[in-house]
A and B are shown apart, each in its own frame.
Chain A
Amino acid sequence: MRRAAVSRSVQKVAEWIDSRVGLTNTMLRPGPDYSLNVFYWLGALMVMAFILQGITGLLMLLYYTPTVSEAYSSTLFIVRYVPLGSLIETIHLYSAYAMILLAFMHLIRGYFVSAQKKPRELMWVVGMLMGLVVLGFGLTGYLLPWTVVSKSATDVTIGMISLMPGQLGPALKFLIAGPGSDASELARFFDLHVVLLPAVFVVLVVFKMYMFETHGAAEPATGLKGEVRDIPWFPNIFLYFSMLSAIFLALLIAVSAVFPISLPPEFTPATASAYTPQPEWYFLWIYQILKFSVFEGPWITVALGLATIFLALLTLLPFLDRRSERNPARRPIYTTLGVIVVVEVVVLTIWGYFTPGQVIPDSDAAIITGGVAVVISIISCITYRTRNQSAFGLMRAGSFTAFMGTPFRAPALTSVFVILLAVSSASFATSVNLTASPWSTMFFSSLTIAVLSFLAMVFVVRQLSVSHKLREVQQ
């Protein structure tokens, strides 16, 4: 009896607030059942990481001093002597990594399911701007502890930015790093990290949320299966997101507790001279491209110009790809291009991690980046062909494994191909002097050649058997 009375009172208060604020008609309105899927919540988890960054960042601000002489010592004080300081500092760093990773995943997912299509074009553009702001957070925050690793990495990144074409490079460098002294650089990075970027990010989040509330969650790219049910925001959607957030935070805190950061030495000219500068992992892929010997000297500006054009094209994607088709299975070119870019970024990042400070010979660069692109194109070709052949009834539906096993069913033909490809691969490797390259290049090149050879063999053998089967069907 008493419980029912309390419940009624709570409901009355909730109704009063809702009648004034109107939340159940806007942000807290029911959502479609297909949105209860973790891939629909990557952006929300990114905002969750941002909130965590805000809380841990504010706590660190109680002790941090943004001056060249005290930045390192105040960070060391937080890590060593402040209760929970080490854990908070580590959570701040790892949540920044999580935010960048989630931003990348959100972008990749949006690209493959064509989330940028009408009427969500501006949501895509705003999302891209948010991605740049997130990278800005990473760049500006990394310098603040003033360690030899962070200062050297930031100098590399600023060097990359200052080489951008025309007046853009110097202007951007002045804007983010000031006239050139260490003190002005640290002060500007601190202001950007603590004031300007959070403010811009919050404005962009609000703008994106507003558009999201107008358009709602995009339907699955593969189409709807059955009738769509609307699910109440409270308690269903609220509890689902609470569960996701709890798991996300649990993962972050667990990793932070098990692998706490250890602060590298303070930046001084002496420590810097003994250290090979390397940017953070999320900039490694572009840094690796800039290390290709073809981009040495003045050509580096060309590379950065191409990267800027690529970024601009990606931002303007909704206005370039205007077809209404969203299913990746029916968009082979865009899907293949997307996979190539994602895999290239991953390969370049790993490669960059293993080759700090090395200039990459053009032959290695061509083999690895070109090899990856060719391998993926062939896989894509085979996959889409298999799909079409399934549709024509030439193959059993879903028999991709059987398709890949084709060479083993034609042993004589396969043997000839193996010998031919082994000889040609070996001669190719010798011609570009691969055997004298470091082990990582050797490994990637051998792997690329092996996979490429295998797929080429599968493709050709299958082509022969399919054309043979086609003739049989026609007869």
Chain B
Amino acid sequence: MRLHEEGVRVLLSATLVAFLAVFAVYLWFVDLLSSQREFGAFLTAELVAFAMLVYISTKPDYDAVKKSWVLTGCIALVLLLTLAFLFPGGRP
């Protein structure tokens, strides 16, 4: 089944909202002394997801959304999560 373009936008927005909610909770449980890099990476991911959500929802239709920007945001999120999970330290 092929999703309608507006459907893609709603799906993307819903995924980003879920991402924001899940990692906001996750942030609460990160150790603030020994895992500062992890905290920073998750906080950055939250901000990137928020920026993506605003960008996608403020465009008049899905055609006006630049797919390269969305892709860049997704790559940034993947990189940040990889950084957070693989190198969680950060305490000097």
Main secondary structure of the interface of A (DSSP, over half): helix
Which one of B58, B80, B90, B92 has the greatest number of beta carbons of chain A within 10 Å? B92
User: A261 vs B92: C-alpha distance in the bound complex, in angstroms?
Assistant: 8
Q: How many pairs of residues, A versus B, come closer than 8 Å at their CB atoms?
A: 73
Contact of A250 with B47 at beta-carbon distance under 8 Å, contacts A86-B92, A236-B58, A260-B92 already known = yes
Q: How far is the CB of A359 from chain B (nearest CB, A)?
A: 36
CB distance from B40 to the nearest CB of A (A): 3
- Interface size, chain B (Cβ < 8 Å): 22
Q: Which residues of A contact B58 (CB under 8 A)?
A: 235-236, 239-240, 243
Chain B residues whose C-beta falls within 8 Å of the C-beta of A243 in the assembled complex? 51, 54-55, 58
B66: min CB distance to chain A, Å: 13
Chain B neighbourhood of A82, CB < 8 A: 33
In the bound complex, what is the Cα–Cα distance between A249 and B32 (angstroms)? 19
Bound-state CA distance A81–B33 (Å) is: 7
- Report B57 CB to chain A, min CB distance, Å: 8
Assembled-state Cα–Cα distance A408/B54 (Å): 50
CB-contact partner of A254 in B32, B40, B50, under 8 A: B40
Q: Which residues of A contact B47 (CB under 8 A)?
A: 246-247, 249-250, 253
A79 x B92 contact (CB < 8 A): yes
The answer to whether B92 and A262 have CB atoms under 8 Å apart is: yes
A79 to B54, CA, bound (A): 34
Contact for A86 among B36, B43, B44, B76, CB less than 8 A: B36
Complex formed: what's the CA distance from A247 to B55 in Å? 11
Most buried by A among B32, B41, B54, B76: B54
A65-101 Cβ-contact flags toward B at 8 Å (1 or 0): 0000000000000011111101100000000000000
Contacts of A250 in B (CB 8 A): 44, 47-48, 51, 76
User: A46 vs B51: C-alpha distance in the bound complex, in angstroms?
Assistant: 18
Q: A83 — which chain B residues lie within 8 A by C-beta?
A: 32-33
- On whether the beta carbons of A253 and B54 are closer than 8 Å, the reply is no
Query: Which of these, A87, A247, A254, contacts B80 with CB under 8 Å?
Result: A254
Give the dominant DSSP class at B's interface.
helix
Selected contact of B51 from candidates A236, A247, A256, CB within 8 Å? A247
- Whether A260 contacts B90 by the Cβ 8 Å rule is yes
Interface check B91, CB cutoff 8 A: yes
Q: A243-B51, A246-B50, A246-B54 are in contact. Are A253 and B92 (CB under 8 A)?
A: no
Determine if B36 and A254 form an interchain contact, defined as CB atoms under 8 angstroms apart: no
| Closest A residue by C-beta to B80 | A254
Q: Is A242 an interface residue (CB 8 A)?
A: yes
Chain B residues, CB < 8 A from A195: none
Residue B9 at the chain A interface, CB threshold 8 Å: no
User: Are A86 and B51 within 8 A (Cβ)?
Assistant: no
Residue in B closest to A82 when the chains form the complex, CB atoms = B33
Tell whether A257 is near chain B: CB-to-CB under 8 Å: yes
Residues of chain B within 8 A (CB-CB) of A224 are none
Pairwise interchain contact A86-B41, C-beta atoms closer than 8 A: no
Q: How close is A231's CB to chain B, nearest CB, in angstroms?
A: 11
Question: Are B51 and A87 in contact (CB-based, < 8 A)?
Answer: no
A133 to chain B, nearest CB (A): 28
Q: Give Cα A218–Cα B23 distance, bound, in whole angstroms.
A: 41
- The residue on A at minimum CB distance from B36 is A87
Q: How far is the CA of A250 from the CA of B41 in the complex (A)?
A: 9
A13 to B51, CA, bound (A): 28
- A247 to chain B: which residues have CB within 8 Å? 47-48, 51
Chain A contacts with B in 229-271, Cβ cutoff 8 A = 235-236, 239-240, 242-243, 246-247, 249-250, 253-254, 256-258, 260-263
Residues of B within 8 A of A254 (CB): 40-41, 44, 80
Binding site for B on A (CB under 8 A): 79-84, 86-87, 235-236, 239-240, 242-243, 246-247, 249-250, 253-254, 256-258, 260-263
Given A84-B33, A242-B50, A249-B47, 9 extra CB contacts under 8 A: A79-B92, A83-B33, A236-B58, A246-B54, A254-B40, A257-B36, A257-B90, A258-B83, A260-B92
Task: Enumerate chain B interface residues (CB-CB to A < 8 A).
Answer: 32-33, 36-37, 39-41, 43-44, 47-48, 50-51, 54-55, 58, 76, 80, 83, 90-92
Cβ contacts A to B, 7 pairs, < 8 Å: A80-B92, A87-B39, A243-B51, A243-B54, A257-B43, A257-B90, A262-B92
